[in-house]
Chain A
């Protein structure tokens, strides 16, 4: 069946450094891929939907691309801020219009 594997956390970075979170997926369908972010005390919120292969999506300074050949997709940010501390989830849409979730990557930003 469909599956998603995500960078294990926690990831600890200093403010101003760059971030990359990796996800790989398995599906027999054309992939529909998402990134979500969850702040403490809140539910996950949609960061953005990853566009077609080799196109870059972006929101709030984050960017995402996916590599169809490698069946992987990546979330990146050039310069993280303390407010980016959160848990980041990748998700894969499956046939029944549900989402298969990665395990989440906790990001800790030190000032």
Chain B
């Protein structure tokens, strides 16, 4: 059983360009979470889907960041007009949903904005 898959593993963009990050949750998991991780801020929650519906996006910067889950097998995080401060590791996690808290993480996408 493959774990959570994230692509690409590394992405380099120029300032002002768009970045799209992909996540494939574990098959059968109905909840997907996105986090951002930096040395300074640590692990920051961004957004959460359950059964493809957005449940909580309280951690998402209101401008430039958006997330979607068009089907149960993938979710995307899009950052428009990337800025150097967006440089971070973006982590996706999935869980069974229901009454389960346990989250299983992918390896992350390291985004570098030059």
Contact = CB atoms under 8 A, between A and B. Distances in A.
Interface of A: 32, 34, 41-46, 49, 89, 93, 96-99, 101, 103-104
17 contacts: A34-B102, A41-B107, A43-B91, A43-B105, A43-B108, A44-B43, A44-B105, A97-B31, A97-B50, A97-B95, A97-B97, A97-B99, A98-B33, A98-B45, A98-B56, A101-B42, A104-B42
Contacts, number: 51
A42 B92 CA distance: 11
Contacts of A97: 31, 50, 95, 97-101
Of B31, B91, B97, B101, most buried by chain A (CB within 10 Å of CB) is: B101
A102 to B, nearest CB: 9
A33 to B, nearest CB: 9
Contacts of A46: 102-104
Interface residues of B, number: 25
Nearest to A42: B107
Given A96-B55, A104-B43, A43 B101 contact: no
Nearest to B105: A43
B104 to A, nearest CB: 7
B1 to A, nearest CB: 15
Contact of A93 (B31, B43, B101, B105): B101
A43 B4 contact: yes
A42 B97 CA distance: 23
A94 B93 CA distance: 16
